[in-house]
Amino acid sequence: MLCRSYSVAVTSSGPASAHPDVALSVRSHDRVGSRRTDEQWLEDTWRSPDTRVLRMAGSRFPYGEGRVEWVTTTDLPAGRRIFLGEEGGAARFALMLEDRSLSEDWSGFRQVGARLSATDAGLVIHALALVEWHQAHRHCPRCGGLLAVGDAGHTLTCADCGTQQFPRTDPAVIMAVTHEDRCLLGRQPRWPEGRYSTLAGFVEPGESLEAAVRREVAEEVGIEVAEVTYFGNQPWPFPSSLMVGFFARALTTGISVDGEEISDARWFTREQVRAETEAGTLVLPGGISISRSLVEAWYGEPLPGEW
């Protein structure tokens, strides 16, 4: 089961320091990058009875009886192999199935991610990120040629012009904005009533992470931010994000929502957060989200209820 823990010093303006164990951010397996170009080793490893494979049909995978179903390489259907690395002395692969009809009863990460062990979650996130990338990159963006798989699924090379493509990661900032003893939470127009979260947004070209925090907060809720303090980060491959978490101290408190990304935003005291989460009128993101980690690090302990 994924969990989160904190060593936090709390002040009236928010955590003075935080050392979070953010879900999905811990090292779950050895990626053994040096072996990705060793074709003979990869083939021998694939044939090993100790090797385990995660079958992937798009973003879905088999999950049952409270665990991810890892299988041996015997009698597997056709698919594209992706080497994930080694864990517990055994090699781990993902297999992108050509025939997705097997996946009717399979699960997606959003459904079962919070119930996975830290090791399985890390391996599944690695697999998902690469599967999403492979599905979105079938032709060379430079000349339109077909792409050939290399480095055990970690590179794609154009058969015509030779241009290489590498898995991409899009940085996004996610921030708990604080002012004295209050934390700012907002909600998107499509969310059910009572659901609130921290603010977030993508980093633009030529922009630092801290500048992105200040810009996004100003654009979404009209608040000016001073100090921006790093908290932690989390891979989020839907399809290719890295969520970088911050605390941001507000200089102004007047809220003016943009009405598009944010339909409502409120300042909450710790007492209000506790009372409303217990009553169910405030619903925070699930524990697998770094947003939840930010809010609970500001609050100082775990809170009830989640999406």
Nearest alpha-carbon partner for 81 in 98, 95, 97, 69: 95
Which range has the worst mean pLDDT, 47-61, 70-84, 107-121, 244-258? Answer: 107-121
Q: What is the pTM of this model?
A: 0.88
Please indicate, yes or no, whether residues 17 and 48 belong to a single structural domain of this protein: no
Residue 20's pLDDT band (cuts 50, 70, 90): low
Q: What is the pLDDT of residue 60?
A: 95
Burial of 57 (0-12, 13-18, 19+ CB in 10 A): buried
pLDDT at 149 over 70: yes
Q: In this structure, is residue 117 part of a structural domain? A: yes
Please indicate, yes or no, whether residues 97 and 186 belong to a single structural domain of this protein: no
Q: What is the pLDDT of residue 13?
A: 46
Please indicate, yes or no, whether residues 213 and 269 belong to a single structural domain of this protein: yes
Task: Work out the average pLDDT over 70-99.
Answer: 95
CB distance 159 to 147 below 8 Å: yes
280: left (phi over 0), alpha (psi -120 to 50) or beta: left
Which range has the worst mean pLDDT, 44-53, 108-117, 158-167? Answer: 108-117
Return the residue matching tokens 């992937």.
Answer: 56
Q: By residue range, what is the domain housing residue 104? A: 33-121
Number of compact structural domains in the chain: 2
List pLDDT tens digits, range 165-198: 999 999 999 999 999 999 999 999 999 999 999 9
Please indicate, yes or no, whether residues 101 and 202 belong to a single structural domain of this protein: no
CB distance 60 to 104 below 8 Å: no
Q: In this structure, is residue 102 part of a structural domain? A: yes
Q: What is the pLDDT of residue 85?
A: 98
User: Which CATH number covers residue 262?
Assistant: 3.90.79.10
Please indicate, yes or no, whether residues 218 and 258 belong to a single structural domain of this protein: yes
The overall longest dimension of the chain from CA atoms, in Å, is 63
pLDDT at 26 over 70: yes
- pLDDT above 90 coverage of the chain, percent: 81
Residue 12's pLDDT band (cuts 50, 70, 90): very low
pLDDT at 5 over 70: no
Q: In this structure, is residue 148 part of a structural domain? A: no
Where do the DSSP E strands lie in the chain? 8-11, 14-18, 52-56, 60-61, 63-64, 67-68, 79-87, 90-97, 107-108, 147-150, 155-158, 164-165, 170-179, 182-187, 199-202, 225-236, 241-250, 264-269
Nearest alpha-carbon partner for 9 in 304, 305, 245, 297: 297
List pLDDT tens digits, range 256-302: 998 889 999 999 999 999 999 999 999 999 888 999 999 999 999 99
CB distance 239 to 132 below 8 Å: yes
Task: Work out the average pLDDT over 124-135.
Answer: 96
Please indicate, yes or no, whether residues 173 and 295 belong to a single structural domain of this protein: yes
Q: What is the pLDDT of residue 15?
A: 56
Domain boundary among 121, 146, 161: 121
Q: In this structure, is residue 307 part of a structural domain? A: no
Q: What is the pLDDT of residue 185?
A: 98
List pLDDT tens digits, range 197-251: 999 999 999 999 999 999 999 999 999 999 999 999 999 988 889 999 999 999 9
Please indicate, yes or no, whether residues 109 and 91 belong to a single structural domain of this protein: yes
Q: In this structure, is residue 164 part of a structural domain? A: no
Non-local CB neighbours of 2 within 8 Å, separated by 6+ positions: 23, 24, 113, 114, 115, 116, 117, 118, 121, 287, 288
Residue type, 6: Y
Please indicate, yes or no, whether residues 76 and 174 belong to a single structural domain of this protein: no
Beta-carbon count within 10 A of 183 CB:
23
Q: What is the pLDDT of residue 69?
A: 96
Please indicate, yes or no, whether residues 266 and 290 belong to a single structural domain of this protein: yes
CA distance 50 to 74: 11
Task: Work out the average pLDDT over 100-122.
Answer: 89
Which comes out higher in pLDDT, residue 242 or 66?
A: 242
Q: What is the pLDDT of residue 2?
A: 52
CA distance 281 to 36: 50
Edge to edge, the sheet with strand 52-56 lists 52-56, 90-97, 79-87
CA distance 124 to 24: 10
Please indicate, yes or no, whether residues 65 and 187 belong to a single structural domain of this protein: no
Q: What is the pLDDT of residue 66?
A: 83
Look over the chain and give the mean of its residue pLDDT values, rounded to a whole number. 92
From residue 83, give the alpha-carbon distance in Å to each of 163, 263, 282: 22, 43, 42
